[in-house]
Amino acid sequence: MAKKENKEVAEVTEVATVEEVKETKKATKKTTKAKAQPEVTDEPAEVKDPKKTAKKAAKAKAEPEPEVKELPVAEEKPEVKVEAPKPVEDPVEVSVEQKLVALYTLQQVDSKIDEIRAYRGNLPLEIQDMEDEIAGLETRIANLKEESKKFQKEISSYKIKIKETEALIKKYEEQQNNVRNNREYDSLTKEIEYQTLDIQYSEKRIKENTAKESEVTIKINQAQARLTELKAELKEKKDELHSLVEGTEKEEEQLLERSAECEKLVEDRLLVAYKRIRKNARNGLAVVGIHNEACGGCFNRIPPQHQLDICTHKKIIVCEYCGRILVDKGIIEQYE
């Protein structure tokens, strides 16, 4: 019994010692963890060296700061005010009577311009022809002078050739005096004869070119005389035309301005027809009146029905024979 009790006591003590060992291990672990963790203080963890910080600050001052490029400021665009579209105006209706009056007025103005230009006669056309002839004569004279220079060059080249052949002949004649046999003498004689023929041919060509050059010179002189004569006549014609134009120039300008104003009052379609008829007519009349129940342009009789239509001014009537636009006395009286 005593032995059993001793064993139980021994087991209890062992258990107690094991628990103590465990507690001691736990305590040691806590202390090691506490040592490993750094103590938290209010001061900074690392204290920087003041010398190093001063060097870094000096370097930062020495280095230039990067330039900051300013971005371009977008210019403010002016505000474009969009205007409201204007209302389309209704075209003013022009009556047939007004169209006929405008056409007759335009015809009378153009007829006066034709009279002024006819007063000048054919002077403008004559002046134009004379100017063309003068230009042709000038070009002809230039070509003849070039041809004359060509003949002169050929004559001078043939003269030089004659001198060269004469020198060769003298040379061959000197060689004949020092000939060793008859064969050399015969060959030199043939050469002298050939050079003599060459001289004769050159002289012939010189004569021909001289004759041609003299003919060209005569033509140049004739053309030059005609040119001076034409220039004198042209000056007289221009002075005469200037004196004629000077008296009617202002009147013509005024009539041209009035003609342009009258054309604005006529429709494009009618204006094209008017100009076409006026161009084809001999006297330049595209709008004519009725005289004794006949057309004022071709003098052919107009049927009564057409005369009635012309007098009512309901539409524009043209002559069946000549194609001219017809107007009655009422339109002529309105113009006058």
CATH number of the domain at 158, please. Answer: 1.10.287.1490
Residues 193 and 290 in one domain: no
pTM of the entire structure?
A: 0.46
Q: Which residue has the tokens 């001691």?
A: 24
The answer to the question of residue 157 being in a domain is: yes
Does residue 89 fall inside a structural domain?
Answer: no
Same domain as 272, residue 225: no
- pLDDT for the residue 140: 93
Of 158, 11, 150, 105, the closest CA to residue 325 belongs to 105
Which two structure tokens, joined as six digits, stand for 3?
């032995």
Q: Are residues 242 and 272 located together in one domain of the fold? A: no
Q: What span, in angstroms and rounded, lies between the C-alpha atoms of 224 and 218? A: 10
Mean pLDDT rounded to a whole number for the chain:
76
Is residue 320 a part of any domain in this protein?
yes
Coil/strand/helix, residue 326: strand
Residue 321 within a domain = yes
238 and 160 belong to one structural domain: yes
In a domain, 284, yes or no: yes
* Number of folded domains that form the chain: 2
In 3-state terms, what secondary structure has residue 318? strand
Are 276 and 169 members of one domain? no
pLDDT along the chain (336 residues), means of 10: 47 51 62 47 44 54 47 46 45 69 86 80 84 92 92 92 91 85 87 91 92 92 92 89 76 82 82 86 84 84 84 84 85 76
Token output for 115: 């009279």
Tell whether 58 is covered by a domain.
no
Burial of 189 (0-12, 13-18, 19+ CB in 10 A): middle
Range of the domain at 222: 121-248
b/e for 138-172, b at 16 or more Cβ within 10 A? eeebeebeebbeebeebbeebeebbeebeebbeeb
**pLDDT digit string, tens, across residues 59-100:** 555 454 444 444 444 444 445 454 444 444 434 456 778 888
* Interval 186-235: pLDDT, tens: 888 899 899 999 999 999 999 999 999 999 999 999 999 999 999 999 99
